[in-house]
Amino acid sequence: MKNYFFSILVLLCVSLRAQTYEIGVFAGGANNIGDVGRTNFILPSDIAYGGLFKWNKSKRYAWRASVIYGKFTADDSKSSMASRKQRGYVVNNSIFEASAGLEFNFVEYNLHKLGPAFTPYLYTGVTYFRYDYDYIDAGQQISLDQKDGSFAIPMVVGVKRRLNQFLIIGAEIGARYTFTDNLDASNPEKSNVNQQLDVDFGNIFSDDWYVFSGVTLTYTFGRKPCSDCFE
């Protein structure tokens, strides 16, 4: 009978394995990579902030969801390309994204053992975002007072460390490859504007990127993973 109850306990623990959750905030900066301004991969031009939630399914991976808002300024005068400096365009835009996917830890990351817990990680999934849909005419950004939406593929690399039993701090850099070429107002293909005016410019065969880089702080809660029940 004791063996029977022990077996039930083991099965219950396995079914509840790693039911550990995290909720927290992200704060940092945003920049774009497109047909206007600098082409630096990591060079925030404005703020980005948001919230995130993680469901740690094991010591190696976690399901993750987040919402982040960011702004960026693309300024040709700050570019290293002479042609852009001479052109002198300036574009401001904002992005609001919702993302969900999988976060993978490079080393086993146990949130329930005493002592330090540190690991690099990767995150990817699916992102949907909204942005200002504008165009450029005579060198000036013209607002259409409307938003457009598109999907993106997030490619995030980061590190995280447990501060104590409940708090985890991290730092990450996340590039998003988008499926639009108009974050910098260079290709308003969905508007009738480009049928009336010659407003397309830049490389129309390369979609835009945007990057969020910053720090995260999360609070952990939930059931102790069962892999630790018998350690």
pLDDT score for 10: 43
- pLDDT of 137 strictly over 90: no
Residue 225: pLDDT above 70?
A: no
Q: pTM score, two decimals?
A: 0.85
Rounded CA gap, 50 and 178, in Å?
Answer: 19
* Structural domain count, the chain: 1
The helix (H) or strand (E) run that includes residue 2 is helix 2-15
- State whether residue 151 is helix, strand or coil: strand
**Token representation of residue 141:** 């950004």
How far apart are the C-alpha atoms of 45 and 133, rounded to whole Å? 19
Distance CA 211, CA 91 (A): 16
CATH of the domain at 209: 2.40.160.20
Domain, as residue range, for 87: 2-228
pLDDT of residue 223: 64
Distance CA(77)–CA(38), nearest Å, equals 9
65: pLDDT confidence band, cut at 50, 70 and 90?
very high
- Type and span of the H or E element at 84: helix 82-87
Residue 5's pLDDT is 41
Read off the pLDDT of residues 12-33 as tens digits, 9 standing for 90 and up.
Answer: 444 344 458 999 999 999 999 9
Residue 231 has pLDDT above 70, yes or no: no
Rounded Cα gap, residues 109 and 165, in angstroms: 13
- pLDDT (tens digit per residue) in 77-114: 999 999 999 999 999 999 999 999 999 999 988 777 76
Q: Which region holds residue 5: left if phi is over 0, alpha if psi is between -120 and 50, else beta? A: alpha
State the average pLDDT over residues 204-220: 95
| pLDDT per position as a tens digit, 153-165 | 999 999 999 998 8
